[in-house]
Amino acid sequence: MMQIPQAQAITGSRVPAMAAAPLTKRKVTSTVREARIRRVFVAAGFFSVIIMGLIILFLFKEGLGLFSTVSVKDFLFGEFWYPTYDPADFGIFPLIMGSVAVAALSSAMAVPLGVGAALYLGEVASHRTREILKPAVELLASLPSVVLGFVGMVVIAPLMQQWWDIPTGLNVLNASMMLAIMAIPTIASISEDALHAVPRDLMEASLALGATRLETLTRVTIPGAISGMGTGVILGMSRAMGETMVVLMVAGGAAQIPTSIFDSVRPLPATIAAEMGETPFGSEHYHALFAIGIVLFLLTLGFNLVAAYVSRRFQQKGAATL
């Protein structure tokens, strides 16, 4: 702001005095214009919030219609999902249990593997190896889910059936394995970033005191990175919970509460994807599928809020909190 009168003063010696008038005028309009432009960008910033609002609005608008005929309790805890029978049953408890089963088992596989890969990248690998392998892991993250669903269905399922002599290879175990492959890169990449962000002087202090690299890792680096690693794990689990194509193609599709890892299940996203195509617009079944969408939305929202909380609550603040 200070420069403008000065510039006028300099040009003023060479340009006729009347030039000053348009210059001031332009300055005023440009301030108005700047304010307008600023408002455009603020609006763009808030667009994501508006979209979140619209998603909530439309999910509830289409989904809540179901609860005029089915109680929330019967919907959430009903044990039978027969949406096309007459009278229809809209109990999603088996679907929730199906989702929980694949999310839990895939996390049990993906968390140790993802964290292990992150520890290798962050602590063991040389700088050059890391430069090559980190992008490779990120590449694994961009593998389309329909491809993993296809591999699980066409390659893994027949093998499982052969090896263990089970009725179907499309089951909780197979789906969990494919979901784990999807979740590992998320967990590994975020955890590695967290390890990388731990201040170097903390590690150097530990090494200088005679601790081995492993001892430094377990007692200094990991505690310092725990909030970021926790965030990565939760986001990976959330991704496994909401992923559609893998469970649609590989989980088997039977709406039952699983009792073994070789049972077929019908997780929440698979139900929506499989049935929405054949459902008449505005029917009770249509509303029920949107109601499942609400449940799924709230579940993943919960995961994300917990992740945000973990990343704030256990944040490493300088060296003092260790």
Residues 56-95 that bind other proteins (CB under 8 A): 58-59, 61-62
Residues numbered 127 to 166 that lie near other proteins (CB under 8 A) are 131, 133, 135-140, 142-151, 153-155
How distant is the alpha carbon of residue 298 from its chain centre? 13
Q: Which amino acid is at 74?
A: D
Structure tokens at 70: 């089915």
Q: Kindly tell me which residue out of 15, 25, 46, 319 binds other proteins, with binding defined by CB under 8 A.
A: 46
String of contacts with other proteins for each residue 275-294, x by CB under 8 A: -xx---x-------xx--x-
Interacting residue with other proteins among 16, 22, 45, 318 (CB under 8 A) = 45
Interatomic CA distance for residues 319 and 303, integer angstroms:
29
CB of 30 to other proteins, least distance (A): 6
The pair of structure tokens assigned to 185 is 């890169």
CA distance 322 to 222: 11
Minimum CB distance to other proteins smaller for 224 or for 269: 269
Nearer to other proteins, 216 or 316 (CB): 216
Q: How far is the CB of 85 from other proteins (least distance, A)?
A: 23
Among 9, 10, 15, 51, binds other proteins (CB under 8 A): 51
Please, which residue, 70 or 111, has the CB nearer to other proteins? 111
Residues 6+ apart with CB under 8 A from 101: 172, 176, 258, 261, 265
Residue 178: both structure tokens together = 């494919």
Q: How far is the CB of 75 from other proteins (least distance, A)?
A: 17
174, 157 in Cβ contact below 8 A? yes
Cross-strand bridge partners of residue 187: none
Site for other proteins in 189-248 (CB under 8 A): 210, 212-215, 235, 238, 241-245, 248
Question: What DSSP letter does each residue of 198-231 carry, written as one string?
Answer: S-HHHHHHHHHTT--HHHHIIIIIHHHHHHHHHH
Question: Considering the rule CB under 8 A, would residue 44 count as an interface residue with other proteins?
Answer: yes
Among 92, 203, 303, 310, binds other proteins (CB under 8 A): 303
Alpha carbon distance 144, 147 (integer Å): 6
Can you name the residues that pair with 252 across neighbouring β-strands?
A: 265
Identified binder of other proteins from the candidate list 255, 272, 288, 310, rule CB under 8 A: 272
Which residues are paired to 89 by β-bridges?
82
Number of residues that bind other proteins (CB under 8 A): 90
* Binding flags for other proteins, 98-127, as an x/- string (CB under 8 A): --------------xx--xx-xxx-xxx--
Closest CB 95 distance from other proteins, rounded Å: 13
- Stretch near other proteins under the rule CB under 8 A, chosen from 38-46, 64-72, 100-108, 197-205: 38-46
What is the Cα–Cα distance from 265 to 94, expressed in whole angstroms?
8
C-beta of 141 vs 205, nearer to other proteins: 141
Q: What separation in angstroms does the CA of 315 have from each of 146, 218, 230, 312, 322?
A: 36, 17, 11, 5, 11
